[in-house]
A and B are shown apart, each in its own frame.
Chain A
Amino acid sequence: EAGVTQSPTHLIKTRGQQATLRCSPISGHTSVYWYQQALGLGLQFLLWYDEGEERNRGNFPPRFSGRQFPNYSSELNVNALELEDSALYLCASSLPGGRIVLEAFFGQGTRLTVV
């Protein structure tokens, strides 16, 4: 069974540009989570999508946005890139239903570098 896949693996952008990151969840998983792992800052929660809708977001500015498609894959868009957006962006997926996530499966991440 395929795990969570993210693309691209690496992305280099110039300050002010837009970046689009993609995530395909494990088959049967409807929830997708996005996290930012900046150097030395641990994992910060960005966004949670479930059944095509944004369910919650972390403390990030509106230029961080995304969507979830009918096949449950997801995109993370970062507009007006700033140097401090350079980080590893991790996507995770989990099974539907239930009030808590008992296990989230993570992808390998997209390394975004803003120059």
Chain B
Amino acid sequence: GDSVTQMEGPVTLSEEAFLTINCTYTATGYPSLFWYVQYPGEGLQLLLKATKADDKGSNKGFEATYRKETTSFHLEKGSVQVSDSAVYFCALSRDTGRRALTFGSGTRLQVQP
């Protein structure tokens, strides 16, 4: 079945550091890929998405490129801020069968001033 694997957290960085959160997936066909963010005490918000190979999703300084050859969708940001502290979830959605999102386990990011 479909699955999403994320790097274990927590990830602790200093402000202005470079961020990478790894995400790989297993799915048949051509899934769409997403990054969601969950700030403390809140629900999930869509951060960015990519619907086909080599697409780059970007938002709020975050980027991720859909790499079909490595089945990866790593999240990056050049300079993190304290306000980026949250839990980040990688997810996929396939175009056949179950339409609901399949999520990774989440990676907690802590940014220190």
Contacts and interface: CB of A to CB of B under 8 A. Distances in A.
A102 B100 CA distance: 10
A99 B29 CA distance: 13
A41 interface: yes
A29 B41 CA distance: 25
A2 interface: no
A101 B89 contact: no
> Which of under 10, 10 to 19, 20 to 34, or 35 or more describes the interface residues of B?
20 to 34
Contact of A100 (B42, B43, B99, B104): B99
A107 B42 CA distance: 8
B43 A109 contact: yes
B23 to A, nearest CB: 13
Contacts of B36: 106
Given A99-B96, A102-B32, A90 B44 contact: yes
Contacts of B82: none
Contacts of B104: 42
| Shortest Cβ-Cβ A-B pairs, 6 listed | A42-B105, A106-B43, A106-B44, A43-B103, A100-B95, A99-B95
